[in-house]
Structure 1
Amino acid sequence: MIVGLAWSGAQVARADPFLDEIVEFTGEILYLEHKVPALVIGVVRNGETSIHGFGERAGAGSKAPDRDTLLRIGSITKAFTGQVLAHLAADNRVRLTQPLTKSWPDLAVDAKADVEHIRLIDLATHSGGLPREVPHEPGSEQDPFAPITVQTFADWLKKEPLLFKPGTSVLYSNFGFDLLAMGLSKATNQPYPELLKQYITAPLGMKDTVFTLSKEQKQRLMQGHGFAGEPLPDVPTGDVIVGAGGLYSTPNDLLRWMQWHLDRFAESGAEARLLDHSLYLMRDGLETVSGMDESGHMDAMGLAWVAMMPEGDRPFILQKAGGLQGTFSYIAFAPTRGVAVFIAINQFNFAASMAMAKVANELIATLAPR
């Protein structure tokens, strides 16, 4: 169990005991109900932060996860990619509506897919007409993602038509977000990890939000587990899967990131924040929506953020879930109410995953009722 702390800038202080009480009790009940090996929950409200961990982070006899525990955040990575896009658009380095092929014309050469009609905003809202995964040969257990290369993406576009006209439907797509990261790299002539560092992790001091762990960081990693409870290896995702997944982070870093999102009247980053929190596709009017409702009903899409309109006591929420190598995670925030919640468990357990998203959404309603 972890003492809840809060920070203001570089200063760290104890959280409001009332907030601590609510967060700890919520996390403990969720942990006891689902019996996962470990669970960590973090909340930021009006600048005060509370983080609590339960269970064993890395096997029998290990400590509970804490604010500095490294974990794989899976598809929460997509929300970082959307924010990088927002920063680049705010800096006039790209336009949200520019075609992917504007800076990557070779992609359209001999392509069967109507790739020239795919815009950056289509990729960032899962509406590019691409499948969930790029088809590829299976990899080894030690390096399962190795067969996914840039050429794999280009080959599919040359052989297959788009599944639907971009912008008309939504289909959850890892393919699309990795393609988006490649497109941003092409547009700026910078490797995507450098863009992430330049615009997000370095300015916010997120030293533990990385694609590759150092030896010291590996010592703080939370062990993931499969559906039967078996430990899963921490395998690399390579240098291609950087837009859809691949990031590691800590509860401390993620709530620091949330504080940036909740500081909605700050002058620094104001335009990027506005672009990142805007809604670009309303569910009403789309032909089909698939793969978006597991963590709460999608009412609209932002830049990777799934938007949920106010309902009952619950305020407007932007949220994103992730799952990779035996870890499920979920992050959600109420941008107008100063509250964000992060929860992660270290086992592939669908019931627990859906429960933690429901608990997080309800916790936001508890801490910021309408």
Structure 2
Amino acid sequence: MFGGLCAPLEAQDSETDIDALIAETMSLNGAITYLEGDAPGLILGVVSGDTFTVQGFGETERGNGIEPDGDTVFRVGSITKVFAGEMLAHGVARSEVAFTDPVAPLLPGRLGEAASKHPSIRLIDLATHAGGLPREVPRDAAPMADPFQTITHDAFAGWLEENTLNFRPGTSIAYSNFGFDLLSAALSTAGGAAYPDLLASRITGPLGMTDTAFVPTDSMERRIMSGHAPNGEPLPTVPTGTVITGSGGLYSTANDLLRWMRWHLDDGAPDAEARFLDHGVYVQRSDMETVWSMDESGRMDGMGLGWVAMKATADHPFFFQKSGALQGQMSYIAFAPGHEVGVFATINQFDFEAARDMTEAANEILFSLSGF
């Protein structure tokens, strides 16, 4: 849909020219994506070298007349998983855990006892969706005002006690929210603190990501972008709870996510060992017996720590990407570490066709800024 809209941005006279071209490219791709979709609002963000650019389109809630910007707060959904992957990298860099450690000894109480029935599940299996676990654990219905309250460690333990794994860990890949919530619980034990506190001390705090949290502050709540159902009705802002911290509970802003991507792209930034570990590709698709539910934003070539790895082709560079959707918000993030370029996009309605267009537009910008 966007072929030909973005030519490679190279051989410019000055950094200012590059910045202007980035803004122009974002404006064009963003406007087309917004106008062709039904979502009330769209945010696009780009980091290229030291340049951060954010553009908002539409409204933070249908009919409110407030245009989103870089400080607009939204749920990132499953992009939370790549934060959990980085937290694993920090744990390994600090010698708190090893990638090949079994998860069971790191899980508390009944959950750890239940996981001990499956001793072959390792931390690296959870971080690469290779643990043999289902996408979700069956649970009781919950009220619309608190839809995640029945996602509990007891429900996780019940599944582990009563079921066999879907496949031998490390032999196949199947997308699993369950697995990433086990991962965050294990990392909490290894780090000796509540997982949100560890995340704040190791990632969001050092990078000044003051608008990234599991529970929005009063300031964040005043800037929240409302998600919308497929029929266009706004969805309520609901509690995240304490369990889905690995799979999907974070709130953030485009500005914070660009700060985070800048860390990924800056070889001179602190915590170099964690970054190096976080940029590894630990599972190759060609080595797996089967791959399920991993190709939503492009055909997965390999798995990093939550990141979907896309090998270089004649049309694009090697890059990592991840999508997320929760409570009427759909997002996409990607970066090309060899080109110091990253992109982010989000819409505030469950609209899968619009989300595909958004992803395509973001990728066009990423590829163009990488010289493709």
- The alignment's TM-score, normalised by the length of structure 1, stands at 0.93
Q: 2:196 aligned with 1:193, yes or no? A: yes
Letter in 1 for 2:189: K
* Partner deviation per Cα, 1:89-135 (whole Å, 9 max, x = no partner): 00111111100023338545366x84211000000000000000011
Q: 2:66 aligned with 1:63, yes or no? A: yes
Letter in 2 for 1:337: H
Q: 2:42 aligned with 1:39, yes or no? A: yes
C-alpha contact 1:261 1:273 (8 A) present in aligned 2: yes
| Cα distance in structure 1, aligned partners of 2:227 and 2:114 | 42
C-alpha contact 2:126 2:183 (8 A) present in aligned 1: yes
Provide the secondary structure at the position in 2 that maps to 1:116.
Answer: coil
Q: 2:95 aligned with 1:92, yes or no? A: yes
| Cα distance in structure 2, aligned partners of 1:121 and 1:223 | 35
Letter in 2 for 1:310: A
Aligned position for 1:305? 307
How far is the alpha carbon of 1:63 from its aligned partner? Answer: 1.5
How far is the alpha carbon of 1:15 from its aligned partner? Answer: 7.9
C-alpha contact 2:128 2:283 (8 A) present in aligned 1: yes
Aligned position for 2:366? 364
C-alpha contact 1:108 1:115 (8 A) present in aligned 2: no
Aligned Cα RMSD in Å? 1.6
Aligned position for 2:113? 109
How far is the alpha carbon of 1:268 from its aligned partner? Answer: 1.7
How far is the alpha carbon of 1:288 from its aligned partner? Answer: 0.7
Change (3 A) 1:73 1:108: closer
Bigger mean CA offset, 280-289 vs 21-30: 21-30
Provide the secondary structure at the position in 2 that maps to 1:313.
Answer: coil
Unpaired stretches in structure 2, ≥5 consecutive residues: 1-15
Letter in 2 for 1:352: A
| Cα distance in structure 1, aligned partners of 2:249 and 2:297 | 20
Letter in 1 for 2:151: I
Provide the secondary structure at the position in 2 that maps to 1:39.
Answer: strand
Q: 2:325 aligned with 1:315, yes or no? A: no
C-alpha contact 1:79 1:320 (8 A) present in aligned 2: yes
Letter in 1 for 2:240: T
C-alpha contact 1:180 1:243 (8 A) present in aligned 2: yes
Aligned position for 1:7? none
C-alpha contact 2:114 2:158 (8 A) present in aligned 1: no
Provide the secondary structure at the position in 2 that maps to 1:109.
Answer: helix
How far is the alpha carbon of 1:354 from its aligned partner? Answer: 1.4
Aligned position for 1:286? 288
C-alpha contact 2:107 2:185 (8 A) present in aligned 1: no
Unpaired stretches in structure 1, ≥5 consecutive residues: 1-12
| Cα distance in structure 2, aligned partners of 1:93 and 1:16 | 42
| Cα distance in structure 2, aligned partners of 1:310 and 1:239 | 38
1:116-131 superposed matches below 5 A = 116-131=119-134
C-alpha contact 1:134 1:156 (8 A) present in aligned 2: yes
How far is the alpha carbon of 1:157 from its aligned partner? Answer: 0.4
Q: Which of residues 215, 238, 241 in structure 1 aligns to 2:218?
A: 215
How far is the alpha carbon of 1:360 from its aligned partner? Answer: 1.5
Bigger mean CA offset, 90-99 vs 101-110: 101-110
- The alignment's TM-score, normalised by the length of structure 2, stands at 0.93
Letter in 2 for 1:304: G
Change (3 A) 1:267 1:201: closer
